[in-house]
Structure 1
Amino acid sequence: MSNREGRLRTADLARVAGLSTQQVRNYEDAGVLPPAGRTDAGYRVFGERHRDALLTYRALQPGYGAVTATRVMRAVHDGDVPGALALVDAAHAALHEERMSLRAAGEALEALAGRDAAAPPDRSGDGPHGPHGPDGPDGRHGPHGPRGLRIGEVAALVGVRTSALRVWEEAGLLVPGRERGTGYRVYGPADVRDARVVRALRRSHHLFDHIRPVLDDLRRAGSSEALRAAVEARGRALTARTRSMLAGAGALHAYLE
């Protein structure tokens, strides 16, 4: 059957979106497309509405992902437009949460950079064995060899109560080691850094759920410089996804109209 009078064959519709005819059939079965008509011989017959649905789905995919795009189109074709829009809202809310975590990472980096800028230069008394080196308050070594800092020492360094450090530990934000025999908490340089990050972000009213991925990224990256590069890349990716979501939402709005 030809595409006269707005009638499209499966092959015609596949050609519009650069798909295989089997993919078009799968999309109809999944509810991405409205139900197709049938000829007397049983062949599918599509129309402009099906073409618009397919193009709308393809516009939704880059920003919302295939799974959400499928669920949105299926809800629309089931007559549940509020349900479809709720899925769109949920996707935008999830993107907002990602942006909040990214903002927290940026503020953490600023806090770390500010502390590094304020640190005194490496002079004879402030070298590897001075008060700011590995043997000093932020280090793992003391006069009797490797140790770590106790919770009270870290609280004094960071400027919080010991109870705050315990709460942050219970929330999974801090993971100090334990001293053999006594079971006392011991904090190394990375633990002190993490505590400083948590304090900075809590003062900006960030939730624990926003802080946790920042610390995970910082530990995985291994340095603030590597994390900064990752944050910048993620920011670009979120911006691109936002633009894709706007384009998809615009296509959906036109389809609903």
Structure 2
Amino acid sequence: MYRPVDLARPYGLSAQAVRNYEQRGMIPPATRTASGYRVYTDEHAGALRAYVALVPGYGHRAAGEIMKLVLRGELSTALAVLDAAHVGLQRDRETVDRVASAAVVLASCTPATPAGGPVSIGVLAHRLRVSPATLRKWERAGILAPARTRGARAYSPDDVRDAELAHLLRRGGYQLDHIAAVIEQVHAAGGPGPLAASIDQWRERITARGRSMLTGSARLADYLSFVELTRAAVPVPVDGAGL
């Protein structure tokens, strides 16, 4: 049996944080003593352990959604959230590979450009899974400079490449001013060295996130197994026994 502070202490959390997680549905509801105090069990400890482990790899929002779905018995939907996060990670890996290839081309001062003609802001936003407002914000920061066709933005293949690089950098935690500087270096082909160094850092972050996903998934699997074993161990009354 645990108090809120007992669950919180191993993770550097406050007792109030544990109560908040309970209220938001990220851990099961606590039982109460006669005087109204919360009492938690190993099941609550396992749920909190899973949630805390999910956060580094999947983020607070997705981790919370996963736990809520699991606790509601919607395991299939929870697994779909996990799958979507892994798809996103794979897309990051593919983008890094494209940027790395561009860096090789930049070494010979030949810019790498995607195939195809200009695209609209809506098409590019859909491709990157961001909002058009995000692309306009990047433009104000000096990252993108699309041409205009009858007042509408038209993103060239070079613009699309720049947007993909900016998207990857944002996911890596870079600020807009840093991204603008990198894009400027790409345009000027002034040296693939800094770009190559950034690529190595991005790959390290992707690897770290992948490992965090593995850890989070393992802790979630531990919790699911614990719940299944606990429920299987509950005796079922036979022929009126226990009535």
Q: Give the shorter-chain TM-score range.
A: 0.5 to 0.7
Report 1:1-257 matches (<5 A). 7-113=1-107, 115-116=108-109, 167-168=117-118, 175=146, 212-214=163-165, 220-221=181-182, 222-223=184-185, 224-257=192-225
Moved segments of 4+, more than 6 Å: 171-174, 215-218
Letter of the structure 1 residue corresponding to residue 42 of structure 2: E
Q: Which residue of 2 aligns with 1:137?
A: none
Q: Secondary structure at the match of 1:229?
A: helix
Give the deviation of 1:250 after TM superposition. 1.1
Alignment gaps of 5+ in structure 1: 1-6, 120-156, 184-193, 199-207
Using the alignment, how far apart are the partners of 2:166 and 2:28 within structure 1?
46
Select the structure of larger CA radius of gyration. 1
Alpha-carbon deviations, 1:76-102, whole Å to 9, x = none?
111111111111111111111111111
Using the alignment, how far apart are the partners of 1:176 and 1:42 within structure 2?
65
Give the deviation of 1:46 after TM superposition. 0.5
CA contact (8 A) 1:36 1:44 kept: yes
Give the deviation of 1:111 after TM superposition. 1.8
Identity across matched positions, percent: 36
Using the alignment, how far apart are the partners of 1:100 and 1:47 within structure 2?
43
Letter of the structure 2 residue corresponding to residue 66 of structure 1: H
Using the alignment, how far apart are the partners of 1:66 and 1:215 within structure 2?
23
**CA RMSD, aligned part only?**
3.4
Q: Secondary structure at the match of 1:101?
A: helix
Alpha-carbon deviations, 1:19-71, whole Å to 9, x = none?
21111100100111111101111111100000111111111111111111111
CA contact (8 A) 1:104 1:214 kept: no
Letter of the structure 2 residue corresponding to residue 225 of structure 1: G
Letter of the structure 2 residue corresponding to residue 103 of structure 1: D
Judging changes above 3 Å, is the alpha-carbon distance between structure 1 residues 174 and 21 closer, same or farther for their aligned structure 2 residues?
A: closer
CA contact (8 A) 1:52 1:255 kept: yes
Judging changes above 3 Å, is the alpha-carbon distance between structure 1 residues 174 and 11 closer, same or farther for their aligned structure 2 residues?
A: closer
Structure 1 window deviating more from structure 2 (223-232 vs 86-95): it is 223-232
Give the deviation of 1:214 after TM superposition. 2.7
With the length of structure 2 as denominator, give the TM-score of the two structures.
0.64
Judging changes above 3 Å, is the alpha-carbon distance between structure 1 residues 219 and 23 closer, same or farther for their aligned structure 2 residues?
A: closer
Give the deviation of 1:229 after TM superposition. 2.3
CA contact (8 A) 1:34 1:77 kept: yes
Using the alignment, how far apart are the partners of 2:102 and 2:166 within structure 1?
9
Alpha-carbon deviations, 1:125-158, whole Å to 9, x = none?
xxxxxxxxxxxxxxxxxxxxxxxxxxxxxxxx99
Alignment gaps of 5+ in structure 2: 125-143, 151-155, 170-178, 186-191, 226-243
Q: Secondary structure at the match of 1:92?
A: helix
CA contact (8 A) 1:62 1:241 kept: yes
With the length of structure 1 as denominator, give the TM-score of the two structures.
0.61
Q: Which residue of 2 aligns with 1:139?
A: none
